[in-house]
Amino acid sequence: MSKPVVLIAEVLSPATISALGPDFEVVNVDGTDRQALLSALANADAILVRSATQVDAEAIAAAPKLKVVARAGVGLDNVDIKAATQAGVMVVNAPTSNIISAAELTVTHILGLARHLPRAHQSLSEGLWKRSSFTGIELYEKTVGIVGLGRIGALVAERLRGFGVELIAFDPYVTAARAQQLGVQLVSLEDLVARADFLTIHMPRTPETLGMIGAAELKAMKPTAYVVNVARGGLIDEAALAEALQAGEIAGAALDVFVQEPPADNSLTGLPNVNVTPHLGASTDEAQEKAGVSVAKSVRLALAGELVPDAVNVAGGAIDEYVRPGLPLTEKLGQVFAGLASGRITSLDVVVQGELQEHDVKVLQLAALKGLFAQIVSEPVSYVNAPLLAEQRGVAVRLITEAEAEDYRNVISLRGALEDGTQISVSGTLTGPKQIEKIVEVNGYDLELPFAEHLVVFTYSDRPGIVAAYGGLLGEAGINIAGLQIARDEKRGTALSVLSVDSPVSEELVAQLRTAIGTDEVRVVDLLGG
């Protein structure tokens, strides 16, 4: 019997090849040579790439034996995940390979700002000796504010403790116990920006976090303070930052990431009090080697038919075929659950009802957590790290199975509580021969609505004219309603509307909807792709 063929499309470290082991036939090809790539894919069971090789729909179609695409890195812009999933091809990456490198670059930028290193170097290289022009500050006894205390934020905190700084952080999803372990005091964002001598941000880029450090936050900072962004472009409003730096509202900034890369102009990069690097967070030999070794191990698992820790889609792994269709549904339910939450989640029950519970459904709990934390944390979420994220954030998780399911053959429900005692629930099912994914319950209200990329959910006092009110506002904003379900609670005199819309809903429009409907309970959920 011939060995499975593993195609290496870009230069990888010797450690990557060693991690694959002797059980595979390794074939090398230049992934940038399109014809050579397509030809080699004809016999490939797996392909390992970095960022230069385009594994698109055409490439996947040319690989009838392909079982796994492995990206030796974090980003997957060069892999068509949808096409891979449709073809039953697993896509894996190395989500934790760069976290140490990113944390170290953050600390480097903080030190560079404190001691004016780039400008001091430039001055001396030009033959000048201006010691007094580059008098810096010590980190000792300064306050460092960390926005986002996930894996990278936690590593930054651990490394900065040795400098004798005061560590404060804003992260609504991290428990006080976890923060205490890291030697960090949890505070509000308002308190953090007012107190921080250095602010570093480590959040995912979502509609909620985009521009979360804006003009108001920058004005509230000390004029001697510095900001650092090594996470995602746009988390700090670039226009507001440029104005704050020019006006002397803050002392300086260090940026590794930008909204547009490379930046379209030098409005930020050309300022004398800004240190910049060209997105170097993962650019270390160690991070690259870790990425290669990580995906090599994932390839071994995938070709053995096992559940892969860092799979970004649900096409592969040793999963019961009856359970497999429930994976993407449960992941979406997790995202909706996170979108409905207005505070820190403390508990989550994954309830599987109907015929489905006769099978091994443990993977559905992982899928629920994967979807939930995909909306919450900045780092990539996998089946392996999702339970760890729940543990770190103090989320108590249970898997419950029940034999009977009302109205449907199978129902998957997520039920849980927030820190303030608020109860949240969302349920879904697969209907019809095409197994259409539908939401069938939200917070105790029964409905039936297909999933969509953009959802708007709100409860309100049931009265005439509400549909016209929100329909008119959405229409004026040019947002089309693709689907609508209304459920009523006659005893309480309340109603719940769930809308699927064709485009994102801005925070400004959400505020208008709250006013028009007369409720604070308006939640927008933008489902993440993959």
Residues taking part in catalysis: 232, 261, 279
At 34, list the tokens: 């399109």
Residue closest to 149 by CA, chosen among 108, 190, 200: 200
In order of 5, 47, 73, 93, 172, the CA distances from 296 in angstroms are 13, 10, 12, 10, 35
Residue with tokens 């001091």: 120
Residue closest to 497 by CA, chosen among 450, 526, 462, 527: 462
Q: Which pairs from 417-423 meet CB under 8 Å and 24+ separation?
A: 417/345, 417/346, 417/347, 418/341, 418/342, 418/343, 418/344, 418/345, 418/346, 419/343, 419/344, 419/345, 419/346, 420/343, 422/342, 422/343
In angstroms, the CA 482 to CA 500 distance is 5
Residue closest to 419 by CA, chosen among 129, 120, 62, 177: 177
At 296, list the tokens: 């090599």
**Helix or strand (DSSP H, E) at 168:** strand 166-170
Give the up-direction half-sphere exposure of residue 365: CA atoms within 13 A in the CB hemisphere.
20
